[in-house]
Amino acid sequence: MQRKPLLCANWKMFRPPDGWDATDSPYRSQARADIVIFPTHLHITKCIKAKMLVGAQYGRPEPEGAFTGDVSMQMLKAQGCSYALCGHSERRQNHGETDIFIAEQIIAALEAGLHPILCIGETKEEYDKGKTQSILKRQLSPVSMINSLPAVLSSVVSIAYEPVWAIGSGINALPADIQNIHTFIRSLLPEQSQKSTRILYGGSVNELNASGFLAHEDIDGLLVGACSLEVEKFTEIMRSIS
């Protein structure tokens, strides 16, 4: 099955870069690839008005309630978002997000009509101890929880494998190793969505290494942090999608 490449720009808690909304902006989605930007909540409306495909970096599962500082998946959909990151490692680390809470986020995102991207990845310590596979298996448990949903819903969940030790470190993993891990991840997915699920890589992706990742069969796209804030570098990354 041909999976459409998915290229994501996670702008984290940064302002949109100069020139992000130019006519020839690399952040605009294309026929050959879905290109999605994840701005701060404050910049979402601006990006939607500029006709970009926009995702939220985080959304709470409950539709509304006494949750100071939060916004819900439902509200994000109403605002015009199409995607939502669930369980980014910075949220797991800084906000104590658990696998159960992340499962609730995914279900709420699907119910709201958003395309969730489940972020998974081991820490340096876990990697050194050879625990990568067991950690990924545990972090993928939300997907088995949604296995009971109709196939059409489970196939709109994407996975982003981001080893924590590769994020913002300049130490990107080797594409061949990532291909092997993605094959392992795919084998753990519910059978009905194994072929259709897009599995992205993230962690120190740049304009020089992007094409090496994308050349592999099971690497269906990239989740880019720092380099997604530099228009010229992101343009090169976008061009590496063949």
Q: Which residues are catalytic?
A: 88, 162
Does residue 36 sit in helix, strand or coil? strand
* Structure token pair of residue 201: 């890589």
Nearer to ligand 13P, 61 or 163 (CB): 163
Nearest distance in Å: CB 83, ligand 13P: 12
Are 89 and 119 in contact by the 8 Å Cβ rule? The answer is yes
Nearer to ligand 13P, 74 or 87 (CB): 87
Nearer to ligand 13P, 149 or 214 (CB): 214
203 counts as binding ligand 13P under rule CB under 6 A: yes
Closest by alpha carbon to 4, among 227, 241, 175, 191? 241
167 counts as binding ligand 13P under rule CB under 6 A: yes
Nearer to ligand 13P, 89 or 132 (CB): 89
Nearest distance in Å: CB 172, ligand 13P: 8
159 counts as binding ligand 13P under rule CB under 6 A: no
How far is C-alpha 196 from the chain's CA centre?
Answer: 16
By CB under 6 A, the count of residues binding ligand 13P is 13
SS3 content of the chain, % helix, strand, coil (to 5): 40, 15, 45
Instruction: Please identify which residue in the block is written with the tokens 């994020």.
Output: 167
Q: Is 151 left (phi over 0), alpha (psi -120 to 50) or beta?
A: alpha
How far is C-alpha 210 from the chain's CA centre?
Answer: 16
Nearest distance in Å: CB 123, ligand 13P: 13
Region near ligand 13P per CB under 6 A, out of 69-77, 174-182, 202-210, 230-238: 202-210
Per-residue x/- marks for ligand 13P, 77-116, CB under 6 A? -----------x----------------------------
49: Cβ–Cβ under 8 A, 6 or more apart, which residues?
Answer: none
223 counts as binding ligand 13P under rule CB under 6 A: yes
205 counts as binding ligand 13P under rule CB under 6 A: yes
* Structure token pair of residue 29: 């989605």
Nearer to ligand 13P, 82 or 204 (CB): 204
Burial class (CB in 10 A: 0-12, 13-18, 19+), 18: exposed
155 counts as binding ligand 13P under rule CB under 6 A: no
69: Cβ–Cβ under 8 A, 6 or more apart, which residues?
Answer: none
Which residues lie near ligand 13P (CB under 6 A)? 10, 88, 162, 167-168, 202-205, 223-226
